[in-house]
Amino acid sequence: MPVQPTIFRVLDNTLQDRNTLSLRKASIWDYTLLLIAAGMWGGTFLLNEIALRDFSPVAIAAYRISLAALILSLICVCKGLKPAMSWNSVVLIVLISLLNSVVPFSLIGWGQLRIDSATTAILLASSPFFSLLLSHYMTDDDRFSWNKLIGLTFGFLGVLCLMWKGLIEGGGSLAGMLVVVVAACCYSLSAILIRRLGPMPSLLLVASSLAIAALILLPVLLWWYPPWEQAYSTPTVSALVFLALGPTATAYVLRVQIVQNNGAVFMSNVGYLIPLFAVFWGWIFLSQTPSVTMWVSLALIFVGIGLGQRK
């Protein structure tokens, strides 16, 4: 049939085309956006644990993605942003929607049923290394360098220092660990694909990808987890709303902006900051006093990010 070769050509061109955007050196504003995104994602561990009391991992992913997609789509309509995309762009956005939300959200939720938060944070911190490897082979201007590798290593040591006690005491199933590593790979690959889209408005890109993800997940939700049969409470519904507004809608727009301006490797440093913010929110909301280990971890992570940005 003539349709199949056409689809294969579109996929081939999509994966081979080089990105037209050029990277810029990270500014204070870029670091600020990185910290804001990390702060939002740092709260997902707690919010996920609350939501999992009533909702399955797939249901959590479906609700947070659908609500975020609805909100961002309405904003795009109000701002007059309309998608005008080629076949290549459509294929890329579909892939991004799968790798950036549908697959990792479901995998991380499933993994957190079998492993503790400390183990999850450590495994997600492997994402920067995947980003460094993929960026080297899939981009022209975000290539491997020893500075980046040394910086990522310092950052990983910082996360390991912070979460070591919980990792040793918690542990978990091998299957749970493996799916979280796969989720980390998905995030890395999605960041590379975002750069290949070129100069598309970040708000429109995120709204489009989340809308596609919602269309994929909603039939699964209605078939396996019908809302009319769902038991829920005010805390779990509130957790879902916060997950949709903050870590999904707002933070994903910030993520696209950072990837487009500074590259996938710079964005991947957020994986080291998320566990720090998870501890920080525990300090603020649960009165958990930060230890010396946290400050040592913070120093290692910031040294790592600084070394990674040196030319």
| Mean pLDDT of the 230-250 span | 92
Residue 115 β-bridge partners: 172
pLDDT at 22 > cutoff 60: yes
Q: What's the burial of 224, exposed, middle or buried (CB within 10 Å: 0-12/13-18/19+)? A: exposed
Q: Between 255 and 150, whose confidence is greater?
A: 255
Span of 12-21, 149-158, 244-253, 298-307 with lowest mean pLDDT: 12-21
Global pTM value:
0.75
Residue 227 CB coordination number (10 Å): 11
Tell me, what's the pLDDT at 125? 75
Comparing C-alpha atoms, which of 298, 279, 277 is closest to residue 287? 279
**Which residues contact residue 24 at a Cβ distance below 8 angstroms, ignoring those fewer than 6 apart?**
261, 262
What pLDDT is recorded for position 17? 36
Mean pLDDT, to the nearest integer, of 198-221?
Answer: 88
Q: Is residue 67 predicted with pLDDT exceeding 90?
A: yes
Per-residue confidence (pLDDT) for residue 240, from 0 to 100: 93
pLDDT band at 36 (very low <50, low <70, confident <90, very high): very high
CA distance 198 to 94: 15
What is the separation, in whole angstroms, between the first and last Cα of the chain? 51
- Looking at residues 126-144, what average pLDDT do you find? 67
CB distance 161 to 296 below 8 Å: yes
Q: Over the stretch 162-183, which tens digit does the pLDDT of each residue have?
A: 666 666 656 567 777 788 888 9
Model pLDDT, residue 254: 93
Pairwise CA distance, residues 192 & 90, whole Å = 16
pLDDT band at 40 (very low <50, low <70, confident <90, very high): very high
Residue environment code for 13-33, b if the CB has 16+ CB neighbours within 10 A, otherwise e: ebeeeebebebeebeeebbeb
Average pLDDT over the chain, rounded to an integer: 78
The mean pLDDT value for 70-82 works out to: 90
Q: With 80 as the cut, is the pLDDT of residue 31 above it?
A: yes
Q: How confident is the model at residue 305 (pLDDT cuts 50, 70, 90)?
A: low
Model pLDDT, residue 210: 93
Mean pLDDT of 124-147: 68
Q: Which residues pair with 172 in a beta bridge?
A: 115
pLDDT of residue 21: 54
> For residues 1 and 240, what is the distance between their CA atoms, to the nearest angstrom?
44
